[in-house]
Amino acid sequence: MRDTLEADSIVFEVGRRRILSDIYIKIETGRITGLLGRNGQGKSTLMKILFGTLTPMTKSIRVNGHYIHKPYLERGLISYLPQFNCVPADRKIIDLFKDFELDYDVFVSRFSHIASGSNLKFRQLSGGSRRFIETYLLLFTPGSFALLDEPFSHLSPVIIQEMSLLIREASKQKGILITDHYYEETLRISDQLYILQNGKIKPVQSSEELDASGYLPLSCSSITVFKSSS
């Protein structure tokens, strides 16, 4: 049985500008949900609201039909990767894995080319290594849902492919919401898609709908990258 996170009636304003208007979104375990939209459309704002650290004017967030006021306060429910590094910079890598109840040796056995030494502090790693490790921690720490805001940031093309495989692996047990400017990779791994435009959100059911949204550059057709949710 799938766990489901649903949010609706989300309205968020800054001053007199309405950023989000009557938003509805659904995330399910076993599926990757892609969130598309140009800069400044409110994707990060929506993720913070879903996580519970940003309070909108109105909202309704439910997990399996039960209302949740601040999801991040529910142990073992949800994790959130913001655009910026979110783990303590002076924490040793080995201690971070202990904090997240994960085995560092398992990580090293799979990603020795990324692991740089368990006693190094997080801030001593390269930007790409920091992003990969913190995404790994948030994907595999216990929980039903994960919100990923630009997980491919600072990663080389080869490592992006490895990250995509990790996200797909984690989605077998979790519901994952992802947004990233590497839109081709987001399209490729997503099981369902939403697009945010002018404060409104709509599901994308076909490559034709995505092309019509004007989100993709004219030189790129979604036919080659759109993954059907069927």
Residue 171's CATH number: 3.40.50.300
Residue, of 31 and 118, whose pLDDT is higher: 31
Residue, of 68 and 229, whose pLDDT is higher: 68
Residue 29 lies in a domain: yes
pLDDT for position 228: 45
Least confident span in 8-17, 65-74, 92-101, 208-217: 208-217
Residue 170 lies in a domain: yes
Residue 211 lies in a domain: yes
Q: Rounded to 5 degrees, what angle do the CA atoms 64, 183, 180 make?
A: 60
Main-chain phi, psi angles of 199, to 5 degrees: 80, -5
Mean pLDDT of the chain: 90
Least confident span in 39-53, 139-153, 155-169, 194-208: 194-208
Query: How many angstroms separate the CA atoms of 174 and 145, rounded?
Result: 5
pTM of the prediction? 0.91
Residue 162 lies in a domain: yes
Domain coverage including residue 135:
4-224
Residue 229 lies in a domain: no
pLDDT for position 215: 74
pLDDT for position 230: 40
Residue, of 179 and 226, whose pLDDT is higher: 179
Per-residue confidence band for 229, with pLDDT thresholds at 50, 70 and 90: very low
Residue 126 lies in a domain: yes
Residue 79 lies in a domain: yes
Residue whose token pair is 């001593």 = 124
Number of domains in the chain: 1
pLDDT for position 227: 54
DSSP string over 97-130: HHHTT--HHHHHHH-TTT---TTSBGGGS-HHHH
Examine the pLDDT at 72 and tell me if it is beyond 70: yes
Q: What is the mean pLDDT of residues 178-182?
A: 92
Nearest of 34, 26, 33, 35 to residue 7 by alpha carbon: 26
Residue 230 lies in a domain: no
